[in-house]
Structure 1
Amino acid sequence: MKWVAAVFFLNLFYSVISSPEDGEPYLHVMARSSVYNAGVKRAIYCKGRNLPETLQWYSPSGDIVEGRSSRNTRVYVERSKNDTLANSLVALIIQEAMIEDSGNWTCKAGSLSETIEITVGVKALISDPDETLEGEEGKSVKLDCIAKGHPSPVVQWYIENDPIAHDHKKYVIRVKGDNYQLEIKNLTHKDTNEYVCKVTQKALSHFANKRVQLIVNHKPLLIDENNEVYYSKYRTEEVYAIMNETKNITCSVLATPPPTFRWYRRHDGFDDELLTDADTILISENGNSSVFVLRMLDESALGEYKCSADNNKGHVSIIYHVSLGNKPNAPDFVELTGKSTTSLTFNVSCSTCNTASAEEDISEDPRNLTVLGYSFEVVPVQEGFLPDWDAATEFLVNLNQSNSSLFTISPLANSTTYHVRVRTRNAAGYSDWLEVSPDPTTDLACKLTGSFILLIILSFIYPLINQ
């Protein structure tokens, strides 16, 4: 009870120095209407001078709050030992605030009274703030958000920071007691996402979130290099290769669970040869793409290849028509034009290459394929050693217009000198390399600008001038 005695003494001192002149009846509650969290301790003081009757605290039910006793240990009043009608100070003690303490508490003496409103709240706590759920394509899934608190919280579901509105066709929001449930109907691959239930109690300045990662199991869907989805089960694709070089053919799908890939060599339109060489068939880390490494040793490698992908939800396939394409010419000019702490910018051109100024000008002639862009490789310079191109980092850049010539590669390490080489690429493959000379260097990260240096100098000079 030391904390009660200390506050009691301070308020007694305050009541002495701030009371009105003798003779004038005065009563004042030394607290404002407030919101308390359940379980807290509070001492609320009421002071008076020259009162007509004894100062009393009344509970929200209208009962007089009695002093502490063996039966009354949680909510009670404490009076100053020198309490009189002429000078009173009474403390309302709430040892452990409960929801039932909410309401109007009145300090009264005769016709004088003053009331404050107390609201006791319970923070809405979410027992399982992070959850992962699986749903099945074409079916429904229910996401629970149990938020029990007082006052009743405001609950809103979000997807990608956008609030979800009730929609009986797709999103159904139901309130079942303390459970704010979101039902998602007719699940598709697009519903795989993170859903957030945001719980707000403004009166308690309390906020809580629940995150639900929803994974929808669905059939494989074909996607292209730009992750555009094809909703057909079958499609064909033209592939161009260069003789005596390696061609990587990538088969990509969107599927959960990850599919099983199979590659076939087709003869006369039939899948009569299953390809099983582990050195030529690679699977991505996420399991949603497979690469067939085609070695163009002679023209017998030309023809049709099939990639099939299936899981327990469905099956898709792609037929690749492989034919010869021209090897692009190498760039005939490359020059460093700009740099920063993390990037290098080059001017690259190929005067003998076939470029297109518009999409309709793109050549489909295998002997004269349109240039798609360039491939850069960079590797840090090590004094006394030749470039280790096997450890190089590759950057692919695209030609958006026929006159595009400036290309930035990033991110790179600051204050680092690099070996750089560049080659042209088209649908069939790559040209020979053109090396950049001299070796470029990125900027130093802590490089100071002139204005910043001047600011530092002035910060030292200004105190000396004003001495």
Structure 2
Amino acid sequence: MTSYVIIFLLFIVNKSIQGSLVVTPTLVVTAVNKSFIVSCYDSNDKSVVVEWSGRHGKLGPNTRPKVQTGKDGTRIWFNMTTLQDDGTYLCTSSKNESIQFKLVVEAPLEFMDTSPEQKALEGRDVTIRCEVRGGRRTWSDEDNNEINDTRIESIGDGLLIQNVTRKYSKIYICKAIQPNTGTILEKRIRLKVEHAPTFIPPQGVADHVYGYLNGYANLTCLVEAEPPAKFEWLSSPTKFKKTGNVTESPNQSILQLKLEKSTFGKYKCRASNSLGKAERIIILEEGVRPDPPEFLELRGANSDLLDLGIKGPDMKKLNASDSMQPIGFNVRYRSRKEEEGSDWSQREFNVSQDNSYVLRHLRHNTEYEVEAATRNVAGLSEYSNISIFKTLPSVNDIGHNLEPEFLSVFIPSTYLVISIALTKL
């Protein structure tokens, strides 16, 4: 603020002593590496000789900045400004009048010591480092909203978060602003809060998974962990030998097993990283595979949907417990126009009390092959026999299909009516 007061006072003094001398512009605020000229002349007499001087004395054609003479007076040419060009320059005429020009050169706006990815340990204080040179700094979240959190404070070299938890693992935006030049830079910083693995959902006493003989079962371990966890599968009392397939993605491991009598039992999933480990017990139990649905019918149709009715099997006929009752259906469908062997589209449905299972976004006026399988906690049944259902024509289909017939009937009939009327006349 003080510098701007000084500049204003210089401008007032300048006005009082300049007489007929004119300098354009009188003040320039710029960043480095900018080029421009400043002219000085006597407004009453263009023949009056003027000269420029800077902090190191008189300026000429071979100095920095250099002086040139043109139709618009004697001018200074600032070529690719540097911080050393900052200061006050004086234009003096042969009539002993003078006028000042003020140049403010801002340092380059840049980030220092600012990594785009930074880490913290859960439960400790952390400073997200972001230092700005040549301007001031503000912070926002990744949606450019102002950060409003009592545990977060902007300090000299960054953003302080006290007692950090994993919810603070996100992107923060450090914004550098140079008000005088209007320059704005942004740095997106991702904070990773490191912690030991924890299961999703939280670990209970034990998890139960069901399957049926000669079928397959998936045992799944899903954790939160940073750094990402490594997984092991164990079957008591020794480490599990991989007779199944293990599929892994960041912080998730799925063990797929082909089920035999000896496969059922307890399994342990162990997830670990450099900060700790977590274990989960999964009990694989033998269940009853459901039968296919008793029937699959069409309840209604539109130009882009089929409303299906599906009745599940009576599991009491299989001597199954209540836990083996149907919980949903898998419906597969494809257009009959598709080539043989084309892929099926699939939809998963939970059991609906109104017995309505709607396939949407279908083609109009099209026949579909549809089949359904029952799902319970042990897995899927075989699929039902294929049924053929058709969507209705669209409005355009109706207009297009009826137009030739309409014309063939309407034109002769109209001709006949007109002919009879003319005969009577």
TM-score by length of 1: 0.61
* Structure-to-structure mapping, 1:84-103, within 5 angstroms: 89-99=73-83, 101-102=85-86
Cα contact 1:29–1:44 (8 A) shared by 2: yes
Structure 2 unaligned residues grouped into runs of 5+? 1-18, 315-320, 392-425
Q: Calculate the aligned-residue CA RMSD, in Å.
A: 4.5
Indicate the residue corresponding to 2:256 in structure 1: 293
Does 2:110 correspond to 1:125?
yes
Aligned partners of 1:376 and 1:128: how far apart in 2? Answer: 56
Q: Tell me what 2:190 maps to.
A: 213
Equivalent residues in 2 for 1:313-352 (5 A)? 313-321=275-283, 322-325=285-288, 327=290, 329-330=292-293, 332-333=296-297, 337=302, 346-352=306-312
Contact 1:235 1:317 in 2 (8 A): no
Give the whole-Å Cα distance in 2 for the aligned partners of 1:376 and 1:161.
Answer: 44
Q: What is residue 6 of structure 1 aligned with on the other side?
A: none
- How far residue 222 of structure 1 moved from its aligned partner, in angstroms, is 0.9
Q: Is the 8 A contact 1:66 1:76 kept in 2?
A: no
Query: Does the 8 Å CA contact 1:325/1:368 hold for their aligned counterparts?
Result: no
- Partners of 1:184 and 1:353 lie apart in 2 by 57
Q: By how many angstroms is 1:114 displaced?
A: 7.1
User: Identity rate of aligned residues, in percent?
Assistant: 21
**Matching residue of 1:386:** 341
Describe how 1:15-34 pairs up with structure 2 within 5 A.
28-31=22-25, 33-34=27-28
Distance change >3 Å, CA 350–CA 55, structure 1 → 2: farther
Alignment of 1:184-203 (within 5 A): 184-203=161-180
* 1:406-417 → structure 2 map (5 Å cutoff): 406-408=358-360
1:74 alignment partner, SS class: coil
Any unmatched runs of 5+ in structure 1?
1-24, 225-229, 266-270, 340-344, 355-363, 441-467
State whether structure 2 residue 223 is matched by structure 1 residue 253.
yes
Distance (Å, rounded) in 1 between the aligned partners of 2:353 and 2:21:
83
User: CA 1:350–1:260 in 2, change beyond 3 Å: closer, same or farther?
Assistant: same
Contact 1:135 1:215 in 2 (8 A): yes
Residue 237 of structure 2 aligns to a residue whose secondary structure is strand
- SS of the residue 2:111 aligns to: coil
Q: Is the 8 A contact 1:251 1:291 kept in 2?
A: yes
The number of aligned residues is: 361
Which of residues 317, 322, 328 is equivalent to 1:365? 322
Name the residue aligned to 1:374: 330
| Structure 2 letter corresponding to 1:156 | W
Cα distance in 1 between the residues matched to 2:325 and 2:96 = 103
Residue identity matched to 1:66: K
Letter of the structure 1 residue corresponding to residue 220 of structure 2: T
Aligned to 2:60: 68
**Structure 1 residue 171 corresponds to structure 2 residue 138:** no
Q: Is the Cα–Cα contact under 8 Å of residues 157 and 182 in structure 1 kept in the other structure?
A: no
Q: Name the SS of the counterpart of 2:256 in structure 1.
A: strand
Contact 1:32 1:116 in 2 (8 A): yes
